[in-house]
């Protein structure tokens, strides 16, 4: 039987309802009843999501600690307790992903032919990769060399254009 006087606590807040619903389903699989407050508001009036605090995942107070533990184990997202979220980084210490950085460098070097400032960005990404302590796999090494070749080709091309005065009136 459901006790209607039981106090609900918010264990997580998200701007959208998709993550909150994933967590709600994970909790229901573990027989923990949960509720997504303000879900319809954030879906229908998404522009108000930030103003109302997003979708709130709520559970009974007695189940809050167990629910947070389950969500942490299933790695749905970082749960919060008592309205305080866990500390987040300010973005300046974002983790370095060799694969993602290499992918960005290669794409920037290719699109740099159409938009030359991207070549500078690609070179910056390639410098970050070369200063990394991580080892490149053979496939990643080929991509690195390809991106470097594209960047060098673009720099030579731009040097020639400036040398012949193509950018002068």
Render pLDDT for 72-98 as a digit per residue (tens, 0 to 9): 888 775 544 444 444 343 444 445 688
User: Beta partners for 13?
Assistant: 56
Residue 8 in this model has a pLDDT that exceeds 60: yes
pLDDT of residue 144: 94
In 25-158, at which residue ranges do the beta strands (DSSP E only) sit?
A: 34-37, 55-60
Output the CA–CA distances (angstroms, integers) from residue 50 to 13, 14, 22, 38, 58, in the order listed: 11, 9, 20, 11, 18
Residue 48 in this model has a pLDDT that exceeds 50: yes
Q: Domain-by-domain residue ranges, the chain?
A: 8-74, 98-164
CATH number for the region 8-74 comes to 3.30.70
Q: How far apart are CA 108 and CA 126, in angstroms?
A: 10
pTM over 0.85: no
């Amino acid at each position: 039987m459901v006790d209607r006087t039981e106090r609900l606590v918010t264990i997580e807040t998200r701007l959208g309802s998709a993550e909150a619903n994933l967590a709600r389903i994970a909790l229901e699989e573990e027989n923990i009843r949960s509720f997504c407050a303000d879900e319809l508001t954030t879906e229908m009036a998404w522009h108000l999501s930030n103003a109302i605090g997003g979708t709130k995942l709520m559970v009974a107070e007695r189940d809050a600690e167990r629910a947070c533990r389950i969500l942490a184990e299933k790695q749905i997202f970082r749960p919060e307790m008592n309205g305080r979220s866990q500390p987040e980084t300010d973005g300046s210490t974002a983790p370095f992903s060799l694969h993602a950085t290499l992918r960005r460098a290669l794409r920037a070097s290719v699109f740099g032919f159409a938009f030359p400032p991207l070549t500078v960005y690609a070179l910056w990404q390639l410098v970050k990769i070369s200063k990394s302590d991580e080892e490149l796999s053979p496939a990643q090494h080929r991509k690195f060399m390809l991106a470097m070749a594209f960047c060098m080709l673009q720099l030579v091309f731009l040097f020639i254009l400036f040398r012949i005065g193509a950018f002068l009136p």
